[in-house]
Amino acid sequence: MADKTERSAFKSITLVSLQFICLGILFLSGPLLADPIYLLVPELAGLALGVWAVMAMGWGNLNIAPDPLQWSRLVALGPYRVIRHPMYLALLLVSLPVVVDSFSLFRFGVWLILLGTLIYKMGYEESMLLAKFPLYGEYRQRTSRLIPGLY
């Protein structure tokens, strides 16, 4: 049992580390805010979505690791009524405009690694949420993973 717990902790730390390394590279290698308004709007929308998701989840339920906290509860309020992972969508919406604004193949590659990391992290997180919350399967059937109506 300890070996499985250690592997789970290692996987969680690795995923969170990859996520933060990618975000760090993107925001240290280019602008923090996209310059043209057509890029700034989705970036600010992503920021607003992230704040809304954190407020709906509540500070006591928040965990940057994909592992549900022992005292956590299933949240289906705010953006979670429609999207299972609004914070991941917020990260993608905030980061993609700054990549496009100061485009390079390297930065786009880092963003693709971030996208892949978050998609893998979503699946991993959902497997743990299914184990912790009996109603998660039903919640999963009536919500989109990331983009309403598409994914």
Read off the pLDDT of residues 45-84 as tens digits, 9 standing for 90 and up: 999 999 999 999 998 888 888 888 888 899 999 999 999 9
Q: Check which CATH number belongs to the domain holding 26 and give it.
A: 1.20.120.1630
For residue 3, pLDDT beyond 90: no
Does a structural domain hold residue 96? yes
* Burial class of residue 43 (count of CB atoms within 10 Å of its CB; 0-12, 13-18, 19+): buried
For residue 4, pLDDT beyond 70: no
What is the span of the domain harbouring residue 117? 2-142
Domain count, the chain: 1
Does a structural domain hold residue 124? yes
- pTM (predicted TM-score): 0.91
3-state secondary structure of 140: helix
Does a structural domain hold residue 147? no
Does a structural domain hold residue 131? yes
3-state secondary structure of 144: strand
Does a structural domain hold residue 148? no
Does a structural domain hold residue 114? yes
Q: Please give the single-letter amino acid code of residue 116.
A: G
Does a structural domain hold residue 28? yes
Does a structural domain hold residue 75? yes
3-state helix, strand, coil in the chain (%, to 5): 70, 0, 30
Mean local confidence (pLDDT), 86-96: 97
